[in-house]
Structure 1
Amino acid sequence: MRNGNRTARSKIMATPRALRPLRNPAYRWLAAALVASMVGAGIWMVALVWQIVAIGGGAAELSLVAGASAIGMLLTTLLGGALADRIPQRRILITVEVVRAASVGAVALLALAGSLDVWHLAVVAFVGGVMAGLYYPAYSALLPSVVPEDELLAANGFEGMARPVLMQAGGPALASALIAITSPGAALAVAALTGVVAAVCLRRVPELPLRREPAGGTGHPAVALLVDVRDGFAYMVRTPWLLGTLSFASLLILIIMGPFEVLVPFVIKDVAGAGPEGHALVLAAFGIGGAVGSMVVASLKLPRRYLTVMNLLWGLGCLPLLVFGLTDQVWVMAFAAFAVGAAFNGGVVIWGTLLQRRVPPEMLGRVSSLDFFVSLAFMPVSMAFAGPAGELVGLPVVFLIAGIAPLVIGVVAIVAARMRRDELAHPLDVAESPESDTIGASPVSPEREPEPAPEPALA
């Protein structure tokens, strides 16, 4: 019997660290649902553009539809976190996929029948934004119930790898092929089908209990949700490492996303003299870098100095943006984009794992929604200011700021929030247990910190 246990342990440890969560049947179904959802999102992004073109629309119509999606996400992200802490997350995810499949399927039928208008797409984009606001907090809160704590880093690494590969490459490539062979309406129909596939996969994930005591009180449910949202903000404010990291992430997005999304295409066109193929190369390098960075981090142990490493990855990872203000060679820009993507996504993998291991289970949905909300709130602001900033001070200066400022802010956040002391007081680099090859909820770790008592933030 002892030899059998030793053999099983050897087989488990022989599995590459990044692939160990896939030994868990429940996680395999959850990962399959995630893959289907990401492929569908990638198809939707490309099919939407060409469907608008097919019905005679242009940039203004595309902006209207994209804006409707962004508004939907902003309206529901924080409430989505509160719901994820009150309702079994698996049910939320299934509902999201069913609604997505039904709404996208409806516009696909209208497109194939020749009866589609822009307002139909705007409504469905708004619904999709609402569903996206519910999806991320529910998925983040469900994952720690499906895989053991020592495999969360690998599971988050898989998501970090799948997102650029499927949403930025696989899904768009499939959409382009479908449009070339048939029509944008057919691509929309396939996007709807991916929602059905995701819902079916989620049905195979076991129903797991909430890691929270049933909510008490007799108040109105809407009021209770708002109270939950308030409590999420309160937890963030009195948790220095969380407030410091989210503050840094907010400024990071504000500083770099606009230059990368808005100004890089003009650098490629006006400075390097390249066209769409050059832009595609840079974006592909960024996505590939993200996938590589995610898998590298997922293949290693969580660093002991996890807060310091994570924030420095984000800060140092922005330095290659300096290249976009200094060179006229597209291949050099592609290498810089690869480095930025690798460092940024590597830090995101640590961040997701950190939230799932240190935030109390009953608060995880709300904290995850705050993380998502930060990205949504500051990204459009960054894009709005990037163009005028480039014209006012010049592209080299903008990329100089985008490359250096995040590192300075990151170091300030580490020091101000006392992260180096905090990460040593709450170590997460525990020894892995090869016997943790179980299906279903993992026990709450004794290392998970309790909800902290009020203290001055960033003292």
Structure 2
Amino acid sequence: MLNYAVFQSGMDFPRRPRSHRAGRFAPFRHGRFGLFFAAYSISLFGTSMAAVALSFGVLENNGSAADLGYVNAARIVPMVLFLLGGGVVGDWLPRRWVMLTADCVRTVSQGGIAVLFAVGHAPLWALLLLAATGGLSEAFFNPALSGMIPALAPKDQLQEANGLLSLSRSATNVVGPALAGVLVAVAGAQTVLAIDAASYAISVVGLLLLRLPTPAVRQRLSMITQLREGWTIFRSHTWLWAVTVQFSLFNLIVWAPYLILGPVSAYRSYGGASAWGAIMAGYGAGSIIGGLALLGRRPARPLVVAIAATFLWAAPSACLLLAAPVAVVVVGAVCAGTASAVFNTLWSTTMQQQVPAEALSRISSYVSLGAYAAGPLGFAIAGPLAQAVGNAPVLAVGVGWQLVASAVVLALPAIRAVRQPAKLGEPISRPRPHSRSG
């Protein structure tokens, strides 16, 4: 048993009987969720635009595919290095203040990049430094966010809360990239990045206004002890670490090359930023489709559905591999976005139901560390590797790997053992004596 407690999930929420259909938007009945949803959605909108702006800002600053990979890697490296520390901090300090501080830093880092592009001189070292600062902030923001969601909605509304947050991400991923593509062409990357910095500032205001239950007094344990406790929980669930391994190799072999070779292909063959914005908007549209399809539905075996959806993550890379018309690439992105919304909602809900509330930030940090540890390597080598052997072999390996990895993980008994609780308070998986599978 862990030695301290933090936010008690749903401890002051009324629990009223309701139908699943009537409860799709139930989390909005609680003011704290609505306030957080609004502030977080605004910051997500800025972030969704910034991804397009940064890519084309680097390329238009006489950068190469390799330079773009280095900038992306610079953001992920500090995030990976400090994730475990961020998880401990998120379980130790008030999560709202951790997130608030991180958003203040991201306001400054994104604003700094906007200034560099505006003055027309953006040295690579400065971009790397500012990107790394933003990544460091994410290392603290994301674990705290994962741990705070159960304090925003009752336990029996967690899937709805996660689904609504996923829909927000999806909607911003439709509008943001498409608008960013137009704004980059008309007003330059610096304008979009300045908007992103302002969106983080608005998120800071929202977090300042948010009121959460007062956390219980926590025993001060050493960081090593806290990490050891988190690791014990993490490794005790086969489904948890197996999917984390899948995440890691997906980011290395599939997604990092796609995020590098996609903008490069758009820049060279599809007409530039507007095409890549349309592709990213397609991904967001798919996420909306997946999120809406899942609202009010609770699969009996949530991880089976989640992992089955990940086969579609290979679709955008497959379209680029075939040099398909941009409209077909958009359709591939729609498929991947649909899969992402289904997976993320079911995965987040499963973790929040299965993992003790007082350890959620640390478990989230272990998952994120595993998922993103290989990402910087993928970003760093995707561009040079494509220059050496061509885009097609790099994309082909990614497509093949994703199909095989999804099939292997789907076949694991631990994935099939995780079940949706029949009612609040029941475990979501059937315990197996003498087994560590979750």
Same fold (TM over 0.5): yes
CA displacement at 1:151 relative to structure 2:
1.9
Determine the structure 1 residue equivalent to 2:196. 191
CA distance in 2, matches of 1:186, 1:269: 20
The whole-number CA distance in structure 1 between the counterparts of 2:321 and 2:180 is 34
Measured after TM superposition, the shift of residue 350 of structure 1 is 0.3
Per-residue CA deviation, residues 221-251 of structure 1 (Å, 9 max, x unaligned), is xxx2233223322221122222232233334
Name which of structure 1's ranges 44-53 and 349-358 shifts more when overlaid on structure 2.
44-53
Determine if contact 1:38/1:171 at 8 Å carries over to the other structure.
no
Aligned to 1:242: 240
**Pairing of 1:19-418 with structure 2 (within 5 A):** 19-49=25-55, 57-59=62-64, 62-105=68-111, 118-167=124-173, 169-170=175-176, 173=179, 176-177=182-183, 180-181=186-187, 184-210=189-215, 214-217=218-221, 224-258=222-256, 260-262=258-260, 274-276=270-272, 279-297=276-294, 299-315=295-311, 318=314, 328-383=324-379, 384=381, 387=386, 391=390, 394=393, 398=397, 401-402=400-401, 404-412=403-411, 414-415=412-413, 417=414
| CA–CA distance in structure 1, aligned partners of residues 111 and 204 of structure 2 | 14
Q: CA RMSD in A?
A: 4.0
Q: Is the 8 A contact 2:261 2:391 kept in 1?
A: no
Contact 2:177–2:277 (Cα < 8 Å) also in 1: no
Contact 1:41 1:171 in 2 (8 A): no
Provide closer, same or farther for how the CA distance between residues 279 and 449 of structure 1 changes in structure 2, counting only shifts above 3 A.
closer
Specify the code of the residue in structure 1 equivalent to 2:236: R
Partner Cα distance (2:401, 2:249) in 1: 10
Aligned in 2, Cα 1:138/1:215: closer, same or farther, shift over 3 Å?
same
Distance 1:244-1:111 versus aligned 2 partners, 3 A rule = closer
Extract unaligned runs of 5+ from structure 1: 1-7, 218-223, 431-444
CA contact (8 A) 1:268 1:275 kept: yes
TM-score (norm 1): 0.76
1:261-301: CA deviation from partner (whole Å, max 9, x where unpaired)? 3556788899xx7554655544332221122212321x123
**Residues 388-421 of structure 1 deviation map (CA, whole Å, 9 limit, x = unaligned):** 8975994785366145313321233x32x3x33x
The answer to which of 331-340 and 192-201 deviates more is 331-340
TM-score, normalised with respect to structure 2: 0.79
Q: 1:410 to 1:114 in 2, by over 3 A?
A: closer
Structure 1 match to 2:418: 423
The one-letter amino acid paired with 1:447 is: E
Aligned match of 1:441: none
The code of the aligned residue for 1:76 comes to F
Q: Is the radius of gyration larger for structure 1 or structure 2?
A: 1
Q: Note closer, same or farther for the CA distance 1:122–1:394 as it changes in structure 2 (3 Å cut).
A: closer
- Comparing 97-106 and 315-324, the one that deviates more: 315-324
Deviation string 1:57-94 (CA, Å, 9 cap, x unpaired) is: 52365555433322221122121111111111111111
The separation in 2 between residues aligned to 1:319 and 1:410, in whole angstroms, is 18
Which is worse superposed, 42-51 or 320-329? 320-329
Deviation at 1:369, TM superposition (A): 1.4
Letter in 2 for 1:237: R
Distance 1:236 1:269, change over 3 A: same
Asked if 2 retains the 8 angstrom alpha-carbon contact of 1:289 and 1:340, the reply is yes
The one-letter code sitting in structure 1 at the alignment partner of 2:404 is A
How far 1:158 moved relative to its partner? 2.3
- Return the alpha-carbon distance in structure 2 between the equivalents of residues 395 and 52 of structure 1: 22
Change (3 A) 1:197 1:246: same
Equivalent pairs, count: 418
Q: Could you tell me how far 1:155 is from its partner in structure 2?
A: 1.9
Offset, 1:315: 3.7
Extract unaligned runs of 5+ from structure 2: 1-14
How far has the Cα of 1:146 moved from its partner?
1.1
* SS of structure 1 residue aligned to 2:25: helix
Distance in 2 separating the partners of 1:264 and 1:174: 16
Counterpart of 2:405 in structure 1: which amino acid? P
After superposition, the Cα gap between the structure-2 partners of 1:307 and 1:87, relative to the gap in structure 1 and judged at 3 Å, is same
> Which residue identity does 1:143 align to in structure 2?
I
Q: Distance in 2 between matches of 1:33 and 1:154?
A: 18
> Equivalent pairs: percent with the same residue?
24
1:438 maps to what in 2?
none
